[in-house]
Each structure stands twice: as C-alpha cells, then as structure tokens.
Structure 1
Amino acid sequence: MKKLLLLLLLGSTYAYGQRSFTIEETVFGPSKFSPKNLYGQQWIKGEDALSHLDGSYQNLIIRKLKDNWQDKQLISVGDLQTALTATIPDEQFALRTFPTQYQWIDSNTLSFVAAGQKNSYGVSYDVTKKNIKINSIIPTTAANPEYSTSNTHTAYLIDNNIEITTATGNKIQVTKDTVDGIVNGSDNTHRQEFGIKKGMWWSPDSHKLLYYKKDETMVSKYPLPQWDTRVASIKNLRYPMAGMKSEEVTLNIFNTQTGQYVTLQTGAPKEQYLTMVTWDPNNEYIYVGVLNRGQDHLKLNKYNATTGAFVKTLFEEKSNSWVEPQHPLIFTSNTKQFLHQTDKDGYNQLYLYDTEGNLVRNLGYKDVIVIDFQGFDNKGTKAYYIGATNNGMERHLFEVELKSGKTIQLTKINGTHNASVSDNGNFILDQYSNLSTPNHIQIINKKDNKAISILTAENPFVDQIDLPKIEFKSFISPDGKTPLNARITYPTNFDASKKYPVMLYLYGGSHAQLVTDRWLGGVGYFDMYMAQNGYLVFTLDNRGSDARGRDFTRITHRNLGEAEMADQIVGIDYLKSLPYVDSDNLGIFGWSYGGYMTTSLMTKHNDIFKAAVAGGPVMDWKYYEAMYGERYMDTPQENPEGYKKTSLLNKASKLNGHLLIIHGAQDPVVVQQHSMDFVEQCIKAGKQVDYFLYPTHEHNVGGRDRIHMYDKIAKYFDLHLKK
C-alpha cells in the first residue's frame, strides 16, 4: 500500500431526521433544503451601510452603523413597479421579485435591468425621489449587453453583429457581417478559455467600444444531428480539434463620436489568443495579453487606442508547460500602475506593475492563492481579495497594502468565506460556512474585531432528513510529499461491523475542486442519496485539480490522466484497507473529465472496480478542442506518444467489469464521437458495454431529465454492486 497520511479528521457532521432523500430531491433538493440566506448583499457607496433583499424577495433592506445594523425596509418591489409604469407607461412590467442584480451607483441611486414585454431597460432609481431614469433600451432579442461607464450607451448582440442604443432609443449598427463564421463581440471567443467572460469593452469615457471579431470560416464544421423533425437535420458547430486549423481573432475599436473603426495591430501569426483585454483609465491605451497557440509564451502588449498601433511589450512570461492568463489587469487609483495576476512563481498572486512594464512589488502572501479580487479601499492604498488557504480547503479575506505589501488575513474562523469590505475600509461583511455550519453572516468591525451576527442559518435537514455522516481525510500523493484532500460520506446508520459497497465520485481535471471546508464539505445530493441507500461514497481531489498552485497542476503536462490515477489509487488503497469496505463491490462515477478518469481506471487499472458510470467522457484527446486540449497535451503532431498513451480507444480490449456510458447527443464540448468510437472498439474487442443517450441534451443533462439520469445511475450500481 502506498504511503499515506492517515485520517486527518477536519470535521464531521450528523443530523437526525425522519426519512431519506427521494430521487427527485437529488436534483431539486439544493433549492428545497438550502440554508436560509440573505440575497443581494452590497455595501452602499460612501456610507457605513449595507443592503440586501428580505426573505420574501419583495423588499430591499438597509442596515446602517448608526442604527446598530438593525434591518429597515428601504424599497419595495411595488415602489419599482410604480416608478417604471410612471416613466414608461406604454410598456408592461411584471416584477415578481426585487432585482437581485441591482447595483449602487452612489449612496442615493441604484441601477438595475427591468424586462418589459417590448424591450429591456437599464434604469437608475432615486431612493429619495422614488423615480426612474432610463439609461438604455435593449431589444428583447438582444444578447450580452454591455453598459458604458456613463450609462449613456449600451452595446449588445443581435445574432453575430453588434448594435448600440442610446438612452433615448437611437440605434447605431456597429457591424453588418452576414458571412457564416464571422462573429462579432461574442464572449464565446477562444471557446471562453483564458478567463474570457465578455467580448466587448467600453472605454472609460464611454466614447469607444472595443470588441472581438472572430473569423472561424476556416474551422471545420462538426455535425450535430437534430431529432426534432420527421427527417433529422444537421446543426453544424465550428469545432477546432487539437492540431487542426483554429479560429483567427482580431480586436477592433468603434468610435461612437466619429463612426470610425480601428484594428489593433496584434500581428502574426493569426492563430494566437488575445486575452486579458484592459482599457487604460485615461482612454489612451489598450493592454492585451497575446498568447501563442502553444500556450507557453505570453506577451503583455500595449496598443495606441487612437491608431491601433503596437506601442511596446511590457513583459513576457514563458513556461516549459503552459502559461494560462485568467484575469484582466486591475488599475489602481494611481493610473500609472496596475495589478496583474499570475502563478509564475508557484501560486496565483498579485503583482504591482507600472505602465512601462516595471515590476514595482510582489504582493503575494505565503502560499495563499488569489481566488477573487474584491477591490480597493476608498483611498486606493489597500487591496482586498479572497484567497485559498490550508492546502486549498478554505477561503479567507485578505488585505494588502500596495505601498509595502504588508498582508493581513481578515477572516479567521475555519471554512469558506465570501467577504467584502466597506467603502471606508472600517467594516467587513462576512458570510461563511464550514462542514458543520450551514450559513453565517456577520458584520465585523476591523478596529476591534468585534462581530455582530445578522443571520445564523439552522440546519435545514433537522427533523426532515437522515443526513449521512461526512468526514474529511488527507493523504500523501505517490510523490511522497504532496497532501491530497478527500471526503468520505458514510452510509446512513453506519455500522463498522458491516461491509458496504463503495461509489467513488471524481472529476480530477483542471479548474475544479470537489472537496472544500464548506457546508456538507461540498457533497452533492446524489452522493448523499447513495449513502442513504447503503453506499460509502468517496471523493479525492488529485493533482491537476484546482486551488493548489502551479506545480500541483503542471504535473499533468503532455500526459493527462496518469498522475491523476496514481493519486486516486492512494485513496482506493486506503478504502480497501478498511474492514467495513466491501472491496469486491467498488463502483466509480464521473462526468466529462471525470468520465475520462472513470474509463481510464476501468481499462488501465481494470482489477479495481466492478461497475462504473462515465458521463460525457473524453476518450481520445485528439477529438477535443484546441484551446483546452493543446494547453495540457500540446498538439498530436508534437506529442504523438502522449496522445497514444492517454487515448482510451486503443485500450477498449482491457475493459473489465460493467461500464455504463452516458452522453448528450447535442454535446458541443465532448462531442459524441468520443463515446461512439469507444463503443465501436469495444465491439471489435468483444467487450460488452452499456450505452445510454439523451437525445436533446448537450454536455450536461438538466431539468427533470436529470432525475431520470440519476435514477438510471443508482439502479446500475444497485444491479452490479449490491448482493
């Protein structure tokens, strides 16, 4: 048995109730049994005050320091409805709840989007006067709205083209492309890798719109059969597989005052990735992270916003594995300095640069990984962020002084914190949970660290559900030094003198973490359902998964699945050593990358599991898209041995045990060809495999069909693992 750090028990939780979950509650349970919460929490600018929605979602509540943070009703949904009707009488609004996505513009004005029958409206609401100002009018057919800084213009997409409307309803047609494969302003550029969440950016003065223009006419069309007509039809998806021709992207600027267009001179080669797109606060420059297709060389380039001309490369990052930019630059109040996030020194942290590319200061703190940047204090001297700590198990709020780099951890209680600091930097709004705490919200005075609780949620399962016991475990990976986090969910009414079948649930891929110190330890409702039905459920986050730093992730380069499987086997060996585990009846379940891991273990380590379910599984990385696949595997031309080793198509003959493959017929992420080719290889090898298709679903099975899916999985394990 491999060396392991045995049984680091971080916590456990019990609750006693009357029944187990139903199969329907594996899908709808999270909303039915969610702990009590306060939604729409926000600090109000310029005041020692915050707001949130009440429990009915009908009213906006305000809490002020001068009132000892007691709750008072500020605005009702009826107030908004009245103001909207008075301002836009020819439109019909039906606000069922107070808008959860409202934003405070100043201490007296908030903004939100109101959907009418004819159009959607971006509006500002004056809290004192209780009146509405229209900032934008957006067609109901529009997508991806982007509001200018001054709220005078709104850009949005109609199909693959960009339009702009003014507050008075005037329209400006920015692009008029009709060629199939030319896409403007879309957040689905570079397949949303590299932290891309938008495809349009307004200049700070609201005069210019910067946007992606994607040319994918040269990218292969991948056919997705549609079954909704008597004769099936084909929907074509532009899908650049690893090593094949990829899209070509430019960044363009439209000037709303002159009507002129400028293209940033990002240069050749055309197949590169344009990331980290950021406007200079003074409207003079645009900063772009230019990443080569090999994804191992990043240049942060500066461009003239008037001419589009290249100005200079501020700095470069290179790696023998990959560079993965995920965040735009964040300018400080000193407009000649910005924060850049990178894991180049081991952990994703903040670095302060000037606009000439000189490193001013490393603002990183120990091995803390920056997860979510929270902004600056009103003086611009301190920055705040949520950071991952305790080997990725916890999330805490940190404060760092830009001038000195001095860093303070502001939240202390173990668990997962989502916290923010008031405008003046004096108070912390802290919401957290941990394994035994469903939800707690408090206001902390930074000066004396005294806290006032404004919500303590009770366990929502008490007197209703027999909740399984959940424990955290820690192991050491086969490298002899790297801690691995894991979680066990025990069968209800667990008896150590009995033997139980196991369902191992895993993902294992990048940008995902399943085990954290939060309510229930991150256990899913299907996991608890299986535990209530007599299974011991086990999950381990292997190397390659998220929130553990550069080296933890890069171990998988050019060889996906190998280190991950080695780590999972550490956990499996531990399970097999337990007297109450039925080692002859082990099952494994995973989706997407987890489906790949599941099938890998069923073929490469085929003497462990008796039954398995692989959902939407990658079977051969040459069929996967270039942006993700080439980051980890390089191209098939560059890494033929790696692709051969990690492919499961040539290992179907080694399949042992019962394997159920589930796939969505409309999957645009892991196309169905993966599983179909594997099934074909199983047929040729004389191996039996079970296969189930969800005809109308994409990469995930949603809605009520998900109940059907979980029922199928549970029954499959019952059939093969229960004696």
Structure 2
Amino acid sequence: MKKIIWLFLISGMAATAQKNLTIQEATSGQYQIFAPKSLVSPHWRPDTHTITYLDETYAKLIQRSEASQWAESTLITKYELAAALKAKFPEDTFALRIFPYDYIWKNKSTLILNAEGAKGNYMVVFDADKKAVVSAVAIAQDAANQVLSPNGTSAAWLKENNIVITNNGKDINVTNDTDKGIVNGSDYTHRQEFGIDKGMWWSPNSDKLLYYRKDESMVANFPLVQWGERIATDKEIKYPMAGMKSEEVTLVLYDIATGKSLTLKTEGPKEQFLTTVTWSPDGKQIYVGVLNREQNHLKLNKYDAVTGNLIKTLFEEKAATYVEPLHGLTFVPGHADQFLYRTEKEGYEQFYLYTTDGKLVKKLGYKDVVVTELLNFDTNAKNVFYIGTANNGLDRQLYRAELSSGKTTQVTTTSGTHEDEVSSDGTLSLDNFANTTTVNDVIIINLKSNKATTLFKAENPYTGKTVLPKMELVTLTSADGKTPLNGRIIYPAKFDAAKKYPVMVYVYGGPHAQLVTNKWLGGASLFDYYMAQQGYVVFTLDSRGSDARGRDFEHVVHRNLGVNEMADQMKGVDFLKSKTFVDQNKIGVYGWSFGGFMTTSLMLDHADTFKVGVAGGPVCDWKYYEVMYGERYMDTPQENPEGYEKTSVIKKAQKLQGRLLVIHGAQDNVVVQQNSMEFIEACIKAGKQVDYFLYPTHEHNVRGKDRAHLNQKIADYFDTYLKK
C-alpha cells in the first residue's frame, strides 16, 4: 500500500481580502516580490571570522564578524569602488549599477571582481581595507569567457573563436584561426557535458595558458531560420547528432614568455572527450580525464607541462552502462601529492583520496550519501566539508570527513535543505536552512561547540497577499516494487474532499534533474501553485532516472530512455486514481525538454489515461539529439536500433487520442526543431489532430517577458480541454 510519509501545510493564512496569483506573479514573483529574505552572494573572508554579502539594493558590500557579535557594517560601497577604479583609470568613467555580484575573496584583504566602465571592461584585484585597486586588466567590451591569471596581471579572453591575452596593457593574439569551425578556449566544448564550464586554465604561476581547441569543421551544419529580416535568413550551427560525425578536441598549452604552443599528446581516437582538466599545484603537470566516445571507459592521465608527453595513466574507470566524469581534481592544500577524485563508480557520487602516482589512499564516501557540492578544507587540511543528500535524496546536509581516518560526521541534522559556507579554519559555518515549513533561517553554527547564532528568520512572503494551497510530500514505490520514489501533491484552492478535480501532472523524469525536495514550496515552481489555485490537483514524481539517488537509480534508463521512467509515472497515476477527489477522466500532463519527451510519450503510450498534454521543446526521436548526452544514455542508433525505435514518439504518432499542444523555440540549439516538426508530420500522416505553437526568437527555454505568455498559454490549454 502506498503511504504518505509526511504532510506539511504551506501556510495557515486567512483568505480574507486576498487574491489568487496573477500569471505574471506566478511566472516571476517567486524570484522577485515573493522572494524570501536571504543573504546575497555571501562569502567568508579567508582567515577570519567575518562574512560578507551584498545589501538588498546591491549597492554595498556588508560585513558581519564574530568580534562584533555579528552586527552589520558597511565594508565597501559601489561608489567607493567606482572612485577607486577612476583613480586607476582616469580616462574612463564608472557609473556602477550594482556592486559586482560575482566577487570572490582572493585572500584576507583582497577581492577579485569584474567592473564595467564606459570605455571597457576590467578584471580587478581590489584591496577591501584600503579601498584601492591593487591591479586591474582592461579588456575589450566584447570580450567573452574572460579568465584572470592567478597573479592578477593578465587576462585571457575570447574574440569570437580566437584567444587573446591582455598583458601589461598589450593584447597578444594566442590563436588566429580564420576558419570558424576551429573554436579555441570556449566553455561550449563537448556541448558543456561532463561538467565543463570553462575552456581556458591558467597555470598556478601565471606563465602558461592551457585551452581547448575544438575542430568542428567536419560536423554537420543545422539551420536556424532568423525571422527578423525582410527575407528570412539562415543561421547555421554545428550540431553533432547521435551516430554522426562529432567534434575533435585537443588541449593546447601556450607559453607566455616564448609565445610558443604545444599540444598535449592525448592521442587515442579523434572523437574522444577530454574532461576533468586540472593543473598540478606546482604547474609542472596537467591531469586530464580521457573518455572514449562510447563513454564507458575513462583514463585519468598525467601529462608533462613542458613536453606535453604522457607521464602515466593513474587509473581507469569502466562501466557496463556509462562513466560520467563531472568534476576536476581537487588537490589537498599543503599536500601537493594528494587529490580528491569524485566518482559514482561504487554506487554513489563520493570522494576518493588518491596520490599523484595513482594510489588510492582512502575512500571518503559515507553510507548512501550523494555529494552535491564540495565546500572547502579546514586549517592544515585535516577535514574536508561538503554538502550531500539525506532522507532518500529529499534533504541536503552538511558533512565533515576526516582525511586521515575517513571518519565522516553529519554536521547539520534538522531535516530539510542546508546551504552552507564554512570558514577557512573550519570552525564556523554560515547555514541557510529551509524546509516545507521553514522559509529561510540564516544561522552561524560554531562547529566546535555546536552553538548556533541566528542572524534572521525570513518571514512568509505570501502572508497577506495570497493563500497558497496545501502541499504534501509523498513516498510511492517504483514499478520494480523495490525503490522508494519522492512525490509532491498540491491540492486545489479551497479543497473539498467530496468534490472531484482535474489533475495536471508536471513531469521531467530524466537525468540530472530533481523536482521534489524538502525545501520551501517543496521544490515546486509558483506556476504549479497558480494551477492549483485555478482548481487543479498538481502532482509531480521523481521517477527512477532522476537525480540525487545514486548510480543504479539513474542508470536504469540506459539504452531505453523513457521506458522505466514512464512505468514509474504510471505508479504515480495509480496513486492519484486511488484518491476519491481525483477525476480519473481528467488527467493531463505537462513537461519541458526531457519532460516534453515524457509528456508526449505518456500521451501516446497511455492514451487511455492522459486526456491533455503540453510538451515543450520535446525530444521526439533520440537520433535527432546530440552525441554527448544522447549516446551516453542510448548508445548510437547503429548500436541500439531497437532502443531508438521503441522510444521514438514519431513512430507512435498514430496512438494519439487526447489533445496535445507541442511548443518549440524556433532558435532551439539544444533540442532542435526538427524533432517536433517530424512528429507533427507523422501526426498529419496518421490523421491525428495536434496543436503546435512556435516562439520565433527563443532558444530551448522561453525567457523574459514572454515567459508569462507561455504560462498563460499552458493554463488556457488545460482550462479549455481538461477543466471544462
């Protein structure tokens, strides 16, 4: 029997003179007018017991210290920063809109930040105590992907597909490729899979720059029609579809002093993936994870930074499904011969301590905890702190692991979501805590005494403005009868158990996404609550295949995307049908991207259950998706023709019975529009009516003011075809 494990009411507000959310409020209010009070961009000053963050107007950098009993004071204003920049660059003008949000502390006294002047952009090292610019590098206003050198005197940046280094006021053209199919230094390498978020890495000594060189000249072009011209034009992008030719990537090392470049001898097939790129602390070696195109065999290699030669393969990782490296190595401070490697090879993504010779020193994993964020080490690197899962993936907790013994302690214990920043000495933690009944409690925890000092408790931002419907977190059992699944149900406004209500199932279900969490609003968007206010039961289930539950939970999707996920979603439908207040003849489903694929699949494979669906940006046949993601989960169409055939919604178009609205962005460079166009054509040939809507200027997501238009369209579609 399915069992509801715990129930939380979002609010006990009275309904007097309070209104339902508008579509605009449901779209952006969660991050604006209804955003809970929080600290903006909080950081500990290194080697201190002082935290800094931006004030509510983003005009000041505020500090609180233990010595002042955590009282607020202003450290720097945007005006003081502008004046210091003006003193350094008198020929420019600085009218800073806000204090830079993305500041970081370099050491106890100095900040690294970006600033924009009237004539150029600047990468700045700033002394917070003296309120003076220590050093700054001026770069072009159209510079992209800029990276400041560790010594703060040089910056590498991209000018279209080439790399420029600004050093001592002069620009050095590192690359000069005229063929746009050769892309240097871009973070959009391997389509940003494998945790890739940068394409250039300075050496620790600031004397060399390592960068990706991506040759995609041989990759097929995909057309994106631009509608803004009198006669529409074609913008072509490189899109390596599953089973077709992919990009060829190498790693190149540029020496600042000599102006010479060399390519790391990564060797192997040209279409392999280069990941987990990390410099050794002394700058003499470079570590690279070399992953085959099949994505089931990883080699962690060490290369000589002078010759580019392979020194040694430290270890290898293989899997019957796939290996997915997502993080660079983390060297242990003060121990240049040891690093942390993060992998799910034994079931859960956890840390392993290795020597630079490839010897495993210790596994630092703890129970079934999945590491979600590495924080930092304490003084002398005795312990490492991280955020990890608990409560079947619903919670996020702070953990401390002792490197010498491997002993792990769960530092925070209150069930919910903890977001922490630990001081550099490891004795204090800034803890932001929320759960389904707690908006946001901001606390300083003394990690030695366990004494907590509350900075503030955020008030319910909806009080007096609107009544949010009741919400429950529920636990169901997966289709294999073995695995607990997390679900969320939001009840209609003014819920009456004696009535019957239509249902909107909001679905994703795929890798790297978790929709149900033990935090404020249960992880739901405000649009879900809007639909509940309009009289719908809104239900979401994180099926097998979704995030934060471990390797086996996710890898069940391999070669058959959507199959086990749908089986689990139907267990959610069984749960809904067991409720007397659910109208079993009025169940609809909505999802975007992988959720759009799931929506369409459910509408076809379970046409007798789902009467209405809205599928946004849907993958309709995985052969139209890109190599890096698609082949990881499905292998190639040549290797897995049965899997591609079985999961293609294009092949099943004749099964459509209900009302289906397909939405796509005409500029979608992630799930290209060919997916939905082929599906629409299949529906036409099958004599099936289907609705289609295009956002001409949007990519994979509809953003900005048009988002409210999208949400209104979704709500109207359910109102028209399901509610009435």
How far the C-alpha of 1:276 sits from its partner, in A, is 0.3
- 5 Å-filtered alignment, 1:94-105, equals 94-105=95-106
Q: Distance in 2 between matches of 1:40 and 1:703?
A: 23
Aligned residue in 1 for 2:610: 609
How far the C-alpha of 1:11 sits from its partner, in A, is 2.8
- 5 Å-filtered alignment, 1:253-402, equals 253-333=253-333, 334-402=335-403
Q: Distance in 2 between matches of 1:614 and 1:106?
A: 48
Note the alpha carbon deviations across 1:588-609, whole angstroms, 9 max, x for none. Answer: 0000100100110111111101
How far the C-alpha of 1:15 sits from its partner, in A, is 4.1
Q: Distance in 1 between matches of 2:114 and 2:323?
A: 37
Aligned residue in 2 for 1:446: 447
Residue 8 (structure 2) pairs with residue 11 (structure 1):
yes
Contact 1:371-1:388 within 8 A present in 2 as well:
yes
Q: Distance in 2 between matches of 1:663 and 1:74?
A: 47
| Paired letter, 2:4 | L
| Paired letter, 2:187 | D
3-state SS of 2:204 partner: coil
Aligned residue in 1 for 2:484: 483
Q: Distance in 2 between matches of 1:257 and 1:377?
A: 36
Aligned residue in 1 for 2:579: 578
Contact 2:135-2:153 within 8 A present in 1 as well:
no
Q: Distance in 1 between matches of 2:111 and 2:152?
A: 12
Contact 2:103-2:112 within 8 A present in 1 as well:
yes
User: Which segment drifts farther, 105-114 or 44-53?
Assistant: 105-114
Note the alpha carbon deviations across 1:151-191, whole angstroms, 9 max, x for none. Answer: 1211000000000012x311111000011210000000000
| Paired letter, 1:573 | D
How far the C-alpha of 1:10 sits from its partner, in A, is 4.8
Note the alpha carbon deviations across 1:459-492, whole angstroms, 9 max, x for none. Answer: 0000001111111000010211111000001111
Note the alpha carbon deviations across 1:287-336, whole angstroms, 9 max, x for none. Answer: 10000000000000111110001111110011110000000000112100
3-state SS of 1:283 partner: coil
Q: Distance in 2 between matches of 1:628 and 1:106?
A: 38
Q: Distance in 1 between matches of 2:297 and 2:37?
A: 47
Unaligned runs of 5+ in 2: none
- 5 Å-filtered alignment, 1:397-412, equals 397-412=398-413
3-state SS of 1:598 partner: helix
Aligned residue in 1 for 2:26: 26
How far the C-alpha of 1:42 sits from its partner, in A, is 0.9
How far the C-alpha of 1:141 sits from its partner, in A, is 0.5
Q: Distance in 2 between matches of 1:695 and 1:100?
A: 32
Q: Distance in 1 between matches of 2:233 and 2:57?
A: 46
Q: Distance in 2 between matches of 1:130 and 1:669?
A: 44
Contact 1:415-1:517 within 8 A present in 2 as well:
yes
How far the C-alpha of 1:109 sits from its partner, in A, is 2.1
Contact 2:125-2:152 within 8 A present in 1 as well:
no
| Paired letter, 1:258 | T
| Paired letter, 1:663 | H
Residue 69 (structure 2) pairs with residue 68 (structure 1):
yes
3-state SS of 1:565 partner: helix
3-state SS of 1:379 partner: helix
| Paired letter, 2:304 | N
Q: Distance in 1 between matches of 2:169 and 2:437?
A: 52
Q: Distance in 2 between matches of 1:217 and 1:606?
A: 44
| Paired letter, 2:309 | A
| Paired letter, 2:258 | T
Q: Distance in 2 between matches of 1:226 and 1:384?
A: 48
Aligned residue in 2 for 1:413: 414
| Paired letter, 1:692 | F
Contact 2:276-2:327 within 8 A present in 1 as well:
yes
Aligned residue in 2 for 1:207: 207
Aligned residue in 1 for 2:223: 223
- 5 Å-filtered alignment, 1:295-694, equals 295-333=295-333, 334-694=335-695
- 5 Å-filtered alignment, 1:20-59, equals 20-30=20-30, 31-59=32-60
Q: Distance in 1 between matches of 2:519 and 2:338?
A: 36
Contact 1:224-1:236 within 8 A present in 2 as well:
yes
What is the identity percentage for the equivalent residue pairs of Structure 1 and Structure 2? 56
Q: Distance in 2 between matches of 1:329 and 1:131?
A: 34
User: Which segment drifts farther, 568-577 or 82-91?
Assistant: 82-91
User: Which segment drifts farther, 661-670 or 52-61?
Assistant: 52-61
* Structure 1 length-normalised TM: 0.98
Unaligned runs of 5+ in 1: none
| Paired letter, 1:452 | T
Contact 2:163-2:184 within 8 A present in 1 as well:
yes
Aligned residue in 2 for 1:721: 722
User: Which segment drifts farther, 531-540 or 126-135?
Assistant: 126-135
Q: Distance in 2 between matches of 1:606 and 1:130?
A: 66
Contact 2:162-2:183 within 8 A present in 1 as well:
yes
| Paired letter, 1:484 | L
3-state SS of 1:32 partner: coil
| Paired letter, 1:576 | K
Aligned residue in 1 for 2:188: 188
Contact 1:343-1:549 within 8 A present in 2 as well:
yes
Note the alpha carbon deviations across 1:221-278, whole angstroms, 9 max, x for none. Answer: 0111111111111111100000000000000000001111110001121010000000
How far the C-alpha of 1:117 sits from its partner, in A, is 1.6
Note the alpha carbon deviations across 1:12-39, whole angstroms, 9 max, x for none. Answer: 3224250111011122212121001111
Q: Distance in 1 between matches of 2:130 and 2:605?
A: 69
* Structure 2 length-normalised TM: 0.98
Contact 1:15-1:468 within 8 A present in 2 as well:
no
Q: Distance in 1 between matches of 2:131 and 2:693?
A: 56
Contact 1:351-1:364 within 8 A present in 2 as well:
yes
Contact 1:559-1:642 within 8 A present in 2 as well:
yes
Q: Distance in 2 between matches of 1:60 and 1:24?
A: 31
Q: Distance in 2 between matches of 1:40 and 1:722?
A: 43
| Paired letter, 1:543 | R
Contact 2:135-2:152 within 8 A present in 1 as well:
no
Aligned residue in 2 for 1:171: 171
Q: Distance in 1 between matches of 2:651 and 2:423?
A: 58
Contact 2:376-2:424 within 8 A present in 1 as well:
no
How far the C-alpha of 1:72 sits from its partner, in A, is 1.7
Contact 1:51-1:61 within 8 A present in 2 as well:
yes
Q: Distance in 1 between matches of 2:410 and 2:419?
A: 13
- 5 Å-filtered alignment, 1:131-170, equals 131-166=132-167, 168-170=168-170
User: Which segment drifts farther, 444-453 or 556-565?
Assistant: 444-453
How far the C-alpha of 1:58 sits from its partner, in A, is 2.0
Contact 2:161-2:180 within 8 A present in 1 as well:
no
| Paired letter, 1:201 | W
Q: Distance in 2 between matches of 1:160 and 1:383?
A: 39
How far the C-alpha of 1:60 sits from its partner, in A, is 1.8
How far the C-alpha of 1:620 sits from its partner, in A, is 0.3
Number of aligned pairs? 719
How far the C-alpha of 1:212 sits from its partner, in A, is 0.2
Q: Distance in 1 between matches of 2:239 and 2:440?
A: 42
User: Which segment drifts farther, 77-86 or 216-225?
Assistant: 77-86
User: Which segment drifts farther, 378-387 or 67-76?
Assistant: 67-76
| Paired letter, 1:383 | V
| Paired letter, 2:79 | G
Note the alpha carbon deviations across 1:582-630, whole angstroms, 9 max, x for none. Answer: 1111110000100100110111111101111000101100010010000
Q: Distance in 2 between matches of 1:264 and 1:721?
A: 59
How far the C-alpha of 1:100 sits from its partner, in A, is 1.9
Contact 1:15-1:461 within 8 A present in 2 as well:
no
3-state SS of 1:707 partner: helix
